[in-house]
Amino acid sequence: MSDRTSYLFAVLILLLGAFFRIHDLARLPTGMSAEEVDSVRVVETVRAGTIETFYTLRGEGHEPLYAIMVAALTAVTGTGSLGYRILSFFAGMLTLALVYVLGKRLLGARAGLVALSLMAVGFLPAHLSRAILPEALLPLLSVATLMALAQSLSVYYHAPGRRPPNTIAFAALGLLMGFGFYVHPLHFPLVLAVMIFIAYFVLTRQTVTGGALSFTSFGILIMVIIVMPYLIASLRQPELAGASRVIEGAAGAPLSALFNGIFGFFFQGDTHPEHNLPGRPLLDLVSGFVMLIGVLVAARRWRQPRYALLLISFVVLLPFVLIAPESPEFTRYAPLLPLIALMFAAGVEGLSALLLPQRYHRLITSAVLVGLLVFNTQWLWRDLFITWSAEPAVQAAYRSRIGQIAHYLDRTAGTLPTVVCTPELYPPNEAADLIDAQILALMMNRADPELRYADCGSGLILARGGADMQVVFLQEDGLDAVAAYVGEWLALGTLQNAPGIPERAVVRLDVQAQLADTIGRFTTTALASFPPETGMTDQIAETPVRMGGNIAFLGHDQVENPVFAPGAVVPIYTYWRVDGIVPSDIRLFTHLLSDPNVIAVQADTLSVRADLLEPRDVIVQATFVQLPPTIPSGSYIISTGVYESSLGTRLGVFDGDQLRGDRLFIGSIQVVR
């Protein structure tokens, strides 16, 4: 096969591989897995300016180089599910190109195309090109290191003649081996394979250009210089070091893990939905059989450096990728993928030369390979784009509901005010996992969404005075968990059921007129008054009542039956308007007073994120005051106001420009034992 023909077919196969890697990249998979969320957290730590040898999450170390590269790239492309995946896509495409080049160099042009084809339509290579994981760089690191080694020691299919040593090739080899330690601990066995191959070269006295072997010390020196900080950090923090992670699972049942890992090649693959269509084998049976033939061919021709390079690398890496706590675990197979493809190519070359007459073997072999490519193409299309994405376990693992909402908000939140309903408004201190609101932000590609957050179990934001807006529920049961009073407002809207929106996830509202009617009703049916310490006892406070901190009290809904027994829950519904930037830590207090100066029961709350509120937003707050079982019978005044939690100081209440204390009276209840 001529080089021109080979390059033409390579371009076509690369385009096929590009399609499977870039098609619907932002939404397949929809959402992020827990491992991907951890990767993004490390990326954002890097973006914040913290550079470490190991980042710690849940007591496990994470190498920094992948996160640094993603942080640098997303500074240009933007974040979100698409931005975070761009690096993996580019790494996957470059891996395909280098697999072809290395296969052509070691085994010939046709072998390069065969290896490229298997990588282009493999499920795991395509999945890694979409994954926000450091493992996405391992196939590229593996094939690039082997390419640099072959270039350094002049390992060819057809030797081009004696050439002087190229220091650039040795420097590239040293850089790849050194920086690979900062990508993933599975780089360790790859470096071991390189060292064993160099020893093989020396011990078997291979023909090599003068001085080439002496230049290997130059490449190794570069690697040692780069890896020294990693080694020092590993000695200081052995519990985080990669050495302990690379052999994870070996202490349990290594023979069982090896067997399961090998079994995963051909029969029952990885059952984790994050990594694979559960149970799908890594290779089809024909490709797996041919790959085994390739291993035998390489073992039989081990005296030839081009086969020895493949064989040594394959044999050294194999046990490390197979031994996993829950083998087979396909993400650990990542550094082995280029070698699997090259062994498959070696098997094709060996079988075609052994079984078929010279006159016909190229035609028959080509027909069989094209048929195998077509089979794997349709197999990948069905499993990746149809079956895997619809698998319930996959949707759960990738938080697909939040992912679908993120994609919907990318299209709508720029022009339509959006209130996100979620019970967790703020992440707990030192949380091991992110809350849903944080995960939503990571998945969104839009940089400037107009989002508010509310716990709709007890509150709601009517954005821009109740004008056209939407309310989004992150949890599947979110709409069922809203407070009954809040639900009355949502019932005025329309549940959205457009394609791509999860069920019962979006309610479209336009309640500006209804809100105006409600606030107007408060001026006659639910009066508020200033407290007695202002010298204006029983004077009606004309709403809206301006308070400090750019917030105004609009009114309250009266309790229908203001008589309660001890131990009962008293619901109090208040309305507040935002007139500017409010303090981020404001809280609403609600007191039941046995007399104007004695607090019998209190409840402090705010069911919205104050730091994300915009002018003209109206807060509907449902406060549920739990009466103690021992509370005496009698009449209790209801008092409310606003304070800053960090300072513990209340915001002033104004009558025009005149300060009238720091609270309002909004009616009373009766407790009857």
pLDDT tens per residue across span 157-184: 765 555 566 788 889 999 999 999 999 9
- Residue 359 binned pLDDT confidence (cut-offs 50, 70, 90): low
pLDDT tens per residue across span 98-153: 999 999 999 999 899 999 999 999 999 999 999 999 999 999 999 999 999 998 88
Identify any residues that bridge with 268 across adjacent strands, giving them in sequence order.
Answer: none
- Residue 294 has a pLDDT of 95
CA proximity to 315, closest of 198, 196, 208, 404: 196
Asked if residue 564 has pLDDT above 80, the reply is yes
pLDDT tens per residue across span 225-264: 999 999 999 888 888 888 777 776 555 557 777 888 888 8
Which residue type occupies 41? R
- Residue 352 has a pLDDT of 80
Report the C-alpha gap between 549 and 643 in whole angstroms. Answer: 9
Of 164-173, 278-287, 596-605, the least confident: 164-173
* Number of neighbours of residue 71 by Cβ within 10 angstroms: 21
pTM exceeds 0.85, yes or no: yes
- Residue 537 binned pLDDT confidence (cut-offs 50, 70, 90): low
- Residue 448 has a pLDDT of 77
The count of residues in the chain is 673
Q: Mean of the per-residue pLDDT values for the chain?
A: 90
Asked if residue 453 has pLDDT above 90, the reply is yes
Looking at the chain, the whole-number percentage of residues with pLDDT higher than 90 is 65
Residue by residue, DSSP assigns 367-419 as HHHHHHHHHHHHHHIIIIIIIIHH-HHHHHHTTHHHHHHHHHHHHHTTTS-EE
Report the C-alpha gap between 424 and 123 in whole angstroms. Answer: 37
Q: Residue written as tokens 């064989």? A: 311
CA proximity to 115, closest of 315, 392, 372: 372
- Which residues are CB-contacts of 496 (< 8 A; sequence separation ≥ 6)? 470, 505, 506, 507, 508
Which own/partner contact pairs does 195-200 have at CB distance under 8 Å and 24+ positions apart?
Answer: 196/312, 196/316, 197/149, 197/308, 197/309, 197/312, 197/313, 198/153, 200/305, 200/308, 200/312
- Residue 357 has a pLDDT of 59
Mean pLDDT of the 550-555 span: 94
- Which residues are CB-contacts of 382 (< 8 A; sequence separation ≥ 6)? none
CA proximity to 661, closest of 475, 537, 556, 559: 537
- Residue 256 has a pLDDT of 78
Is 445 within 8 Å of 409 (Cβ atoms)? no
pLDDT tens per residue across span 413-425: 888 999 999 999 9
For the sheet containing 569-578, what is the strand order?
Answer: 459-462, 618-626, 569-578, 551-557, 545-547
Report the C-alpha gap between 83 and 75 in whole angstroms. Answer: 9
Reported as type and span, the H/E element at residue 82 is helix 80-107
Is 307 within 8 Å of 298 (Cβ atoms)? yes
Task: Tell me the domains of the chain and their CATH numbers.
Answer: 3-396 (no CATH), 399-510 (no CATH), 517-671 (2.60.40.770)
